[in-house]
Amino acid sequence: MIARKLKNSVASLWETTYQHPFVQELGQGRLPQEKFKFYLLQDYLYLLDYVRLMAYAAIHADDELSMRYFTAIQSDILDSELETHRNYMAAFDISAEVVAKVQPTLFNRAYAANMLTTAQSGQLTKIIATVLPCAWTYAEFSQRLVKAYNHELANNPYRVWLEKYASDDFAQSAQWLLAKLEALMQDKSEQDYQEIQAIFKSSLEFEYLF
């Protein structure tokens, strides 16, 4: 399966990303609020580019069902996922004026540029591969954190955040992307796979740096 093959190809980086102090402190509820606030604002900007990427995916979708799904992902981000961000902003007294003035970091700009440049290739396999590490790691890592630190979850200030990304609904989105990529890669050459694997690894590296 393409999912196993891709994950095995980046196994060390995958686990290193999960063990990142930011990720672990988030799961433990020990992440300093200022660090989370900085990340929260940057992730908000990143997700707007994620929505733009899904627009490219919808344009190049090869069937109506896929077009509907990519469009649904856009709506879910704008209506639900970003609402979670906005709720945390309100809790941390981050005003709309502050949000409007936030500029993306160098890594954020590079990550978004990499995704959108890949999207402009018009190849759906590459579009999915560039966004897949984000959806997949958020789903898996959140589920692992909730399980590992379940005894501390009730008092974790980031509980709502973790539970959002650990939910079955979010996991299903990542699984759909994996299944779609699997279907698209049927009968593709080894060279085609190597191109997808390189894009996938690059985005995972950006996730680690983010």
Give the residue numbers marked as catalytic. Answer: 134, 207
92: Cβ contacts below 8 Å, ≥ 6 apart: 33, 37, 40
71: Cβ contacts below 8 Å, ≥ 6 apart: 54, 58
How far apart, in whole angstroms, are the C-alpha atoms of residue 200 and residue 177?
Answer: 13
Cα 96 from chain centroid?
24
Maximum CA pair distance of the chain? Answer: 52
Cα 135 from chain centroid?
4
Task: Judge whether 36 and 158 are in contact, CB under 8 Å.
Answer: yes
54: Cβ contacts below 8 Å, ≥ 6 apart: 70, 71, 73, 74, 77, 131
How far apart, in whole angstroms, are the C-alpha atoms of residue 9 and residue 109?
Answer: 26
40, two tokens? 């929260």
Cα separations (Å) of 120 from 2, 39, 47, 57, 112?
23, 27, 18, 10, 12
